[in-house]
């Protein structure tokens, strides 16, 4: 496997920043959307499905610039973050930590699964799994098991993306068969280790936050490099962080985050091209 594109979580603004960065890199002649493997976690799962659809990334970037209209803003506020850290940070056992987070998510009062599914479905240009290798991460809310969905999993693309984006305490867990799933970012905000074996890896990480027993992005990247991969990790620069603001789930911040990502592509294009081509 030659090239892997790893897309991390980061809310509504993370989607926008990633699409802006990807559109800017493609415009500058760096074909990052042609990766052999795409790994998507949370917001990155949506971007990954869009990138693998075969449609130009410019289309999805343009959608980020549209006014949010009736789209509801959510908030991953201090209280929710505190509950996440309290639930998941009281043990060094990663699986037990995720199970506790899952229990918190199941007990939380959120909108219905059905209404949330409509939102996810509307953001996907194609409801079928792509031909290209796409991995989407999630966590079993009951057992804490880390799960990776792909085209062979027997799970619909809509449900896989919905599960990966199910932020505990904000959005409802997604029911698939007899199991319920929450955000893949509860294992790692990026899950870059799933790109193992790729010679060249580009990681977009709107956030690299970790707590409790979560594996750190830095450790995952170090392991990839030790195994022989050439890796570039991109995180929001100062201008992008300002555009994103404090609430990553606010649609009103989406356009600014997308433009900031595109502007950042000017700065990083040569660095990415050096490993990608």
Residue 122's contacts (CB-CB under 8 Å, 6 or more residues apart) are none
CA 213 to chain centre: 19
Could you tell me which residues come within 8 angstroms of residue 243 by beta carbon, excluding any fewer than 6 positions away?
A: 13, 17, 253, 256, 257, 259, 260
Question: In degrees to the nearest 10, what's the CA dihedral of 22, 44, 17, 221?
Answer: -80
Cβ neighbours, 10 Å, residue 62: 13
The answer to whether 45 is a known catalytic residue is no
CB neighbours (10 Å) of residue 103? Answer: 15
Q: What is each CA distance from 270 to 33, 97, 98, 266, in whole angstroms?
A: 16, 40, 38, 8
Active site residue 183: yes
Question: What are the DSSP E strand ranges found in the chain?
Answer: 3-7, 37-40, 133-140, 146-149, 174-176, 179-183, 200-204, 230-234
Residue 164: both structure tokens together? 């990966």
Residue with tokens 């850290």: 85
Say which of 42, 97, 188, 208 is annotated catalytic. 42
Q: Which of 140, 159, 183, 250 is catalytic?
A: 183
Catalytic residues: 42, 183
């Amino acid at each position: 496997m030659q090239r892997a594109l790893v897309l991390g979580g980061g809310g509504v603004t993370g989607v926008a920043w990633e699409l802006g960065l990807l559109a800017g890199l493609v415009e500058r002649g760096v074909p990052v959307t042609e990766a052999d493997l795409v790994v998507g976690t949370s917001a990155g799962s949506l971007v990954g499905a869009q990138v693998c659809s075969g449609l130009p990334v410019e289309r999805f970037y343009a959608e980020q610039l549209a006014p949010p209209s009736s789209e509801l803003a959510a908030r991953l506020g201090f209280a929710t973050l505190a509950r996440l850290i309290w639930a998941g940070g009281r043990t060094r056992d990663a699986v037990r930590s995720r199970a506790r987070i899952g229990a918190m998510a199941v007990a939380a009062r959120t909108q219905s699964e059905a209404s949330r599914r409509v939102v996810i479905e509307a953001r996907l240009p194609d409801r079928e799994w792509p031909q290209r290798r796409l991995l989407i991460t999630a966590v079993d809310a009951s057992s804490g098991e880390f799960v990776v969905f792909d085209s062979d999993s027997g799970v619909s693309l809509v449900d896989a993306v919905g599960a990966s984006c199910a932020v505990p305490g904000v959005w409802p867990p997604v029911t698939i068969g007899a199991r319920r799933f929450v955000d893949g970012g509860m294992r790692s905000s990026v899950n870059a280790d799933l790109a193992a074996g790729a010679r060249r890896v580009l990681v977009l990480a709107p956030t690299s936050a970790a707590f409790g027993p979560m594996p750190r992005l830095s450790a995952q990247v170090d392991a990839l490099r030790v195994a022989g991969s050439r890796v570039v990790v991109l995180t929001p620069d100062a201008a992008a962080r300002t555009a994103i603001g404090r609430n990553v789930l606010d649609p009103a911040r989406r356009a600014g985050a997308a433009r900031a990502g595109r502007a950042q592509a000017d700065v990083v294009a040569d660095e990415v091209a050096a490993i990608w081509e």
